[in-house]
Structure 1
Amino acid sequence: MAVSFDLFGTLVRVTNPTDPPRAIATELEARGVAVPEDWDDAYRTPHIDAPEGAEVPLPAHVARALSSCGVAVPENAARRAVIAAFDPDVERREGAGEAIAAARESGPVGLLSNCSVPELVSRTLIRADLRGEFDAVVTSVGCGWRKPHPKAFEAIAADLGVPVGELTHVGDSPEDGGIDTCGGRALVLDGITLDEVPELLGRR
């Protein structure tokens, strides 16, 4: 059996911007980009026609939103601004290390995270002292699909070398429960705590 974990809200707590469009605007302006007056509306409007369940990288969305307002964006400016705006304080949740260690007793262990911001997952793992704890790390911005889409779970299962039906996924949201539709097993932290996960992983 393989086990995958969600990251944000499951293994770590992070502080994200309370006003993402304004935080991104500040970073754009710091890089010489003229942010339009109607930026908030442009940011909240979809600009990329993606299939249902597909991930739209936030820098791509930001670049399209600026373009819709007639603002030319220098190469990589949108990406750098987004990465800087989402630079969180990170706290590893109590019981995270124990849960990962218990999962490793059953087989390979992976991380599957919905995240549209490049580099955010890797930086979070470093700050939570979790880098190197996983046999595979899959992000939605990397594989192109967000949980609960089956392709997200299939991606982490493939990287762990198991059929998706042999994967147990631990998370804190209904999206994490989507593994059920793939024939795998979900452990959703709704009414249970992370401290209980080692015991629950031992039950088949």
Structure 2
Amino acid sequence: MPTTFDLFGTLVAAERSDTPAEAVADALADRGVPVPDDWTVAYREPHEPVPEGAEQPLPDHVAAALASRGVDADGELVREATLAAFDRPVAVRDGARKAVVAAREHGSVGVLSNCSVPGLAERALERAGLDVDAVVTSVGCGWRKPDPRAFAAVADALDAEPESLVHVGDDPSTDGGVEAVGGRAVLLAETPLRELPELLEGRACR
């Protein structure tokens, strides 16, 4: 019985910048990338069409915003700056470690996270000291929860069928999307992490 977890807001709590455009600008400047005077405006503007349900990598958006103001930045520097801008300390949420351990007793364990910054989810898990079998992000697979293709991607990473997934998360509108592929959603508003071991044990005994 494979179990997948949402990451931010479910397994970990992370600091969030109130001014992401400024955080990115500072990280770009630290790497010698010229920041346009109207950067906040450029950052907020859409620069490329994004299909419904798809994820646009934030470094691509940042590069497009810079290009819209005549700045041709090195792609690797943009990727480094974008990760640095959002790589903040995380705290493991109450019950998360026991929930992951309990899930592993019943099968493979994965993380499925809506995250547009490459490497950020992996860095957060490393900081938190949480070990899972597979990490699938929207920026990695190209699709954001609740799109069924996101759940199909994490199921594939766990060598499982989408309908076999038990997905644990805090957001009904995104994490609840697993039900569209036949899986089961466990929402924290109804089942706190500390109660997950008992729920999984009961499901395994059916």
TM-score by length of 1: 0.94
Structure 2 letter corresponding to 1:193: P
Of 143, 146, 149, the residue aligned with 1:148 is 146
Residue 53 of structure 1 deviates from its aligned partner by 0.9
In the alignment of these two chains, the number of paired residues is 202
Q: Is the partner of 1:16 in helix, strand or coil? A: coil
- 1:48 corresponds to: 48
Structure 2 letter corresponding to 1:52: E
- 1:118 corresponds to: 118
- 1:165 corresponds to: 163
Q: Is the partner of 2:139 in helix, strand or coil? A: helix
Q: Map of 1:122-201 to 2, 5 A cutoff?
A: 122-130=122-130, 133-174=131-172, 175-201=174-200
Q: Is the partner of 2:59 in helix, strand or coil? A: helix
Q: Does 1:74 align with 2:70?
A: no
Please report the RMSD computed on the Cα atoms of aligned residues, expressed in angstroms: 1.2
Q: Is the partner of 2:202 in helix, strand or coil? A: coil
5+ residue gaps, structure 1, are none
1:68-121 Cα offsets, whole Å, 9 max, x none, are 111121242211111111121111112111111111222111111111111111
- 1:29 corresponds to: 29
Residue pair 2:63, 2:75 contacting (<8 A) in 1 also: no
Residue 190 of structure 1 deviates from its aligned partner by 1.6
Q: Distance in 1 between matches of 2:115 and 2:202?
A: 30
Residue pair 2:122, 2:135 contacting (<8 A) in 1 also: no
Structure 1 letter corresponding to 2:65: A
Structure 2 letter corresponding to 1:101: V
Q: Is the partner of 2:46 in helix, strand or coil? A: coil
Q: Map of 1:89-108 to 2, 5 A cutoff?
A: 89-108=89-108
Residue 165 of structure 1 deviates from its aligned partner by 0.6
